[in-house]
Amino acid sequence: MNILVCIKQVPDTTEIKIDPVTNTLVRDGVPSIINPFDGYALEAAARIKDKDPDTRIVVLSMGPKQAEAALREALAIAADKAYLVTDRMFGGSDTLATSYILYNAVAKVEELEGVKFDAIFCGKQAIDGDTAQVGPELAEQLNYPQVTYALEATSADGALHILKEGEDGNYIVSVKTPCLITFTKPSFDPRFPTIKRKMAARKATIENLTSAELTNIDPTRAGLKGSPTKVKKTFVPPRKEAGVVIKEETGEESAQKLFELLSEAHVI
Partner 1 sequence: MEAKTKDLWVFVETKEDGSAKNVGIELLGPGRELADKQGGKLVAVVIGCGVKAAVDEAACHGADQVLYIDGEEFRQYSTDAYVAALDHLVETYGPTTMLIGATPNGRDMGPRLSSRLQTGLTADCTGLAIDEETGCVAWTRPAFGGNLMATILCTDHRPQLGTVRPGVFKKPEAGEAKAEIVKVDFSFPAEGIRTEILEVIKETAGELVDLEGADIIVSGGRGVGSAEGFEPIRELADALGATVGASRAAVDAGWISHSHQVGQTGKTVGPKLYIACGISGAIQHLAGMSGSDVIVAINKDADAPIFGVADYGIVGNLFEVVPALTAEIKKRKG
28-47 positions binding partner 1, by CB under 8 A: 36-37
| Binding test (CB under 8 A) with partner 1, winner from 48, 102, 139, 222 | 139
Among the candidate windows 110-118, 201-209, 211-219, 221-229, which touches partner 1 by CB under 8 A?
A: 221-229
How many positions of this chain bind partner 1 (CB under 8 A)? 81
**Interhelix angle 134-142/95-113, nearest 10 degrees:** 50
| Sign (positive or negative) of CA dihedral 165, 168, 169, 170 | negative
Q: What is the x/- site pattern for partner 1, positions 235-254, by CB under 8 A?
A: xxx--x--xxxxx--xxx-x
| Residue (90 or 149) nearer to partner 1, CB | 149
Verify binding: residue 181, partner 1, rule CB under 8 A: no
| Binding test (CB under 8 A) with partner 1, winner from 110, 113, 128, 207 | 128
Nearest of 34, 41, 36 to residue 138 by alpha carbon? 41
Cβ neighbours of residue 176 closer than 8 Å, sequence gap 6 or more:
145, 158, 159
Verify binding: residue 256, partner 1, rule CB under 8 A: yes
Verify binding: residue 161, partner 1, rule CB under 8 A: yes
Verify binding: residue 231, partner 1, rule CB under 8 A: yes
C-alpha dist (Å) from residue 102 to 3, 34, 65, 84, 120: 15, 18, 16, 10, 11
160/154 Cα distance (integer angstroms): 6
Q: What is the x/- site pattern for partner 1, positions 67-106, by CB under 8 A?
A: ---------------------------xxx--x-------
Judge if the upstream peptide bond of residue 186 is cis by omega within 30 degrees of 0.
no
Among the candidate windows 53-61, 195-203, 211-219, 257-265, which touches partner 1 by CB under 8 A?
A: 257-265
| Binding test (CB under 8 A) with partner 1, winner from 83, 90, 117, 149 | 149
What is the smallest separation between the CB atom of 106 and partner 1, expressed in angstroms? 14
Chain centroid, CA 91 distance in Å:
18
- For residue 264, give the 3-state DSSP assignment: helix
